[in-house]
C-alpha cells in the first residue's frame, strides 16, 4: 500500500530506475504516471470523494431521525475518507517540485517522515479500512446478537472503537518512520531495508494487517449474518404456511424484504473492499518477497487509483444508496429540518428483539 510519483518514488520502494534496470520503456511509463489522464482521474476522485463524504457528514448530523450508533461510525468513516481524498491533492495532483533544502532539524525530520514518506496518507487509508470493519462488526452484533447490542455498543465503547482505529492504523504503518531520513547532503530520502528478511517479514505483516485480516473478518461476519437471516426467513415462511397472514405477518414480510436488501449491501461491502485493495496490496507483497515490480508502470498506478477509489465510493455504496439516507438529503436541505421528528425506519440502538441498520432499514429478530 504505497504511493509513488512516477520516477521520483516517495514511498517505501526503490526508485523506478532501479526497478526497471534502465528499461527503455521506463520513460513512457513515467510519463503515464504524470499524464493528464491520470491527473484528471485523481482530480475526479478528489472532487467526488470530498463532496460525497462532506454530504454524508452533513446529512447524518443534521437529520435527527438518521442518528444512531451506525450513523456515528459512518460519520467517522466519511471524515477519514474525506482526509484521504484531500491528501491526494498534494501527493498526486500537485506533487512537491524537486527536493527541498536539507533540514536536519526536528521539523525537517518531521516533514520527511510524515509528509514525504506519506505516513499520514497511508495511516488515514488504513483507518478507513478499519472503520469499514467496525461498521461491519456493528451490524454483525446488531443482527446476530441483538440482546447484547446495547451492552457492547455503548457510547463509551463506540468512541473507544473509533480511537482504536487510529491507534491501530498508526501502529500498522509505524515502520515507514524508520525508512525515511533527512540528510544534510541529499535531503529527505528512502534509506532502504536493513536486509531482505526484514523486508519480507514487513511485507507479509503489511499484507495481513491491512488487507487479509480485515477481509477474513468481514467475510466471516457476513457469512454469519447471511446464515442468521436465512434462518429467520425459514421461521417466517413456516409460520405463514401454518396460519393465515396477520398484521404482524405482513410487517414481518416487509422486514423480510429489507433483510434481503441488507444481505446484498453487506456483500457489496466485502466485494468492493477486495476489488479496490487486492491489486495494490498484492503487488507490494510480491515486491517485498523478492519479485521484481516496476513502481512506475501503469499497472501499479492503476492499483493505487483503485485503493484511493475505496474512499471515494464509500459514500455511494454504504450510505447514498440507502433509501432513508436519500430521504434524509431532502430533509437536510429543507428549511426547518432541525425539527424533523423520528420519521426514519429506526432509532438509536437495538432493543431486545430488533436489530437496527442504516444500510437496509429495520431488521427484526424473528
Is 48 part of any domain?
yes
CATH assignment at residue 237: 1.20.1070.10
**Residue 200 to residues 24, 197, 285: CA-CA distances in angstroms?**
29, 5, 8
pLDDT at residue 5, rounded to an integer = 40
User: Taking 80 as the threshold, does the pLDDT of residue 19 lie above it?
Assistant: no
Among 8-22, 44-58, 155-169, name the one with the lowest average pLDDT: 8-22
Provide the pLDDT for residue 225: 82
Q: What is the pLDDT of residue 95?
A: 62
The better pLDDT of the pair 347, 247 is held by: 247
Contact indicator for 317, 266 with CB cutoff of 8 Å: no
Does some domain include residue 142?
A: yes
- Indicate whether 92 belongs to any domain: yes
The answer to whether 109 and 116 are in contact (CB under 8 A) is no
More confident residue, 365 or 207: 207
Mean pLDDT, the chain, whole residue set: 76
| Cross-strand pairs, 181 | 189
Residue span of the structural domain in which 171 resides: 16-364
Task: Decide if 9 is inside a domain.
Answer: no
Q: Does residue 10 form part of some domain?
A: no
pLDDT tens-digit map of 299-310: 888 888 888 888
Instruction: Give the count of domains, the chain.
Output: 1
Residue 298: C-alpha distances to residues 25, 29, 87, 243 (Å): 11, 6, 21, 62
Average pLDDT over residues 352-362: 40
Look at residue 133 and tell me if it is in a domain.
yes
Say which residue the cell 516533514 belongs to. Answer: 111
Question: How high is the pLDDT of residue 300?
Answer: 82
pLDDT of 227 higher than 60: yes
Instruction: Name the more confident of 74 and 35.
Output: 74
In-domain check, residue 5 = no
Q: Which residues pair with 187 in a beta bridge?
A: 183
The cell 510519483 sits on which residue? 5
Q: Kindly report which listed range (78-82, 175-179, 197-201, 318-322) carries the lowest average pLDDT score.
A: 318-322
Give the residue-averaged pLDDT of 50-67: 89
Residue 318 lies in a domain: yes
Asked if residue 342 lies in contact with residue 141, where contact means CB atoms within 8 angstroms, the answer is no
pTM of the entire predicted model: 0.77
Amino acid at each position: 500500500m504505497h504511493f509513488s510519483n512516477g520516477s521520483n518514488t516517495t514511498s517505501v520502494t526503490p526508485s523506478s530506475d532501479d526497478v526497471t534496470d534502465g528499461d527503455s520503456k521506463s520513460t513512457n511509463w513515467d510519463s503515464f504516471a504524470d499524464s493528464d489522464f491520470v491527473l484528471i482521474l485523481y482530480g475526479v476522485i478528489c472532487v467526488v470523494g470530498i463532496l460525497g463524504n462532506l454530504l454524508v457528514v452533513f446529512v447524518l448530523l443534521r437529520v435527527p431521525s438518521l442518528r444512531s450508533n451506525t450513523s456515528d461510525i459512518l460519520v467517522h468513516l466519511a471524515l477519514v475518507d474525506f482526509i484521504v481524498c484531500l491528501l491526494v491533492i498534494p501527493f498526486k495532483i500537485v506533487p512537491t517540485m524537486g527536493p527541498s533544502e536539507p533540514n536536519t532539524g526536528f521539523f525537517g525530520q518531521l516533514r520527511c517522515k510524515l509528509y514525504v514518506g506519506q505516513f499520514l496518507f497511508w495511516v488515514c487509508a488504513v483507518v478507513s479500512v478499519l472503520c469499514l470493519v467496525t461498521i461491519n462488526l456493528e451490524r454483525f452484533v446488531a443482527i446476530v446478537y441483538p440482546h447484547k447490542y446495547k451492552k457492547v455498543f455503548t457510547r463509551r465503547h463506540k468512541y473507544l472503537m473509533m480511537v482504536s482505529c487510529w491507534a491501530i492504523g498508526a501502529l500498522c504503518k509505524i515502520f515507514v518512520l524508520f525508512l525515511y531520513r533527512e540528510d544534510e547532503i541529499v535531503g529527505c530520502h528512502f534509506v532502504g531495508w536493513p536486509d531482505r528478511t526484514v523486508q519480507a517479514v514487513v511485507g507479509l505483516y503489511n499484507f495481513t494487517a491491512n488487507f487479509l485480516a480485515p477481509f477474513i473478518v468481514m467475510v466471516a461476519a457476513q457469512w454469519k449474518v447471511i446464515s442468521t437471516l436465512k434462518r429467520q426467513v425459514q421461521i417466517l415462511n413456516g409460520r405463514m404456511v401454518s396460519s393465515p397472514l396477520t398484521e404482524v405477518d405482513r410487517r414481518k414480510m416487509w422486514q423480510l424484504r429489507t433483510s434481503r436488501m441488507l444481505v446484498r449491501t453487506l456483500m457489496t461491502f466485502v466485494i468492493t473492499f477486495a476489488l479496490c485493495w487486492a491489486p495494490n496490496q498484492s503487488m507490494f507483497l510480491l515486491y517485498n518477497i523478492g519479485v521484481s515490480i516496476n513502481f512506475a508502470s501503469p499497472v501499479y498506478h492503476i492499483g493505487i487509483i483503485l485503493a484511493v477509489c475505496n474512499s471515494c465510493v464509500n459514500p455511494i455504496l454504504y450510505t447514498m444508496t440507502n433509501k432513508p439516507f436519500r430521504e434524509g438529503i431532502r430533509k437536510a436541505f429543507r428549511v426547518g429540518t432541525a425539527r424533523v421528528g423520528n420519521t426514519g425506519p429506526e432509532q438509536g440502538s437495538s432493543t431486545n428483539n430488533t436489530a437496527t441498520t442504516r444500510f437496509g432499514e429495520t431488521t427484526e429478530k424473528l
